[in-house]
């Protein structure tokens, strides 16, 4: 049994946190047009999908070895969420596991693909957090791939919103005071999720 809604909520909390990644996509779109923004999104989405698929394989293999590992993974997931909350709380923090490069020109797609495909932060998030929303904490390959699709879909939807609404969203993202308030509210919510994971680890 999978708690897809719970997992989607956790991913949404992280992806909605304002930070450099959001600013990069908006700035790129305003400077080079929507085509450049959409090209970057395509690379990021493909990179995230590949990263998530590899992470699912790793998680399903590791957790199949010993049932006790599922409990340890809950503790690691709590630490991961707490770390992301700390990053979101900082004024310059970026909690999203996605990574966007500061590269200009036609290489946006390839840069987005490469950086997100080999992003250890994204892999660590998926390996530790995804199993918390699957009964028993030991996901099958098919369950993991469903979760991967949910994660990539949410991230890509938010990225598309940023690119398509770049002109309107730029003032909001660049307003440091408002962005800080949003980051800190979401950081507290992430800490709540971390506390839940910790409770599971020692239940």
Query: What digits encode the pLDDT tens for the residues 125-162?
Result: 888 899 999 888 888 889 999 999 999 999 999 999 98
Number of residues that make up the chain: 203
Query: What digits encode the pLDDT tens for the residues 41-100?
Result: 999 999 999 999 999 998 888 877 776 777 788 888 899 889 888 887 876 555 566 656
Split at pLDDT 50, 70, 90, the class of 106 is: low
Instruction: Quickly list DSSP for 72-130.
Output: HHHHHHHHHHHHHHHHHHSTT----S-------STTHHHHHHHHHHT-HHHHHHHHHHG
CA dihedral for 194, 195, 201, 203, sign (positive or negative) = negative
User: How far apart (Å, rounded) are the C-alpha atoms in residues 111 and 101?
Assistant: 6
CA dihedral angle for residue 38, residue 114, residue 126, residue 36, rounded to 10 degrees:
-10
CA–centroid distance for 173 within its chain: 18
Domain boundaries, the chain: 4-201
Q: Is 52 in contact with 129 (CB distance < 8 Å)?
A: no
Give 135 or 174, the one with higher predicted confidence: 135
């Amino acid at each position: 049994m999978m708690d897809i809604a719970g997992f989607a909520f956790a991913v949404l909390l992280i992806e909605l946190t304002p930070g450099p990644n959001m600013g990069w996509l908006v700035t790129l779109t305003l400077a080079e047009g929507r085509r450049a923004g959409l090209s970057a999104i395509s690379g990021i989405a493909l990179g995230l999908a590949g990263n998530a698929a590899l992470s699912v394989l790793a998680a399903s293999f590791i957790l199949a070895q010993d049932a006790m590992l599922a409990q340890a993974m809950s503790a690691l997931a709590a630490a991961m969420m707490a770390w992301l909350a700390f990053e979101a709380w900082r004024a310059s923090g970026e909690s999203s596991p996605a990574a966007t490069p500061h590269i200009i020109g036609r290489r946006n797609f390839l840069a987005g693909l490469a950086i997100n495909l080999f992003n250890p932060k994204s892999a660590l998030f998926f390996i530790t957090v995804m199993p918390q929303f699957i009964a028993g904490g030991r996901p099958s390959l098919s369950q993991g791939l469903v979760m991967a699709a949910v994660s990539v879909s949410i991230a890509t939807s938010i990225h598309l919103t940023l690119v398509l609404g770049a002109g309107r969203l730029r003032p909001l993202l660049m307003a440091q005071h408002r962005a800080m308030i949003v980051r800190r509210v979401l950081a507290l919510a992430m800490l709540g999720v971390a506390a839940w994971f910790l409770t599971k680890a020692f239940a």
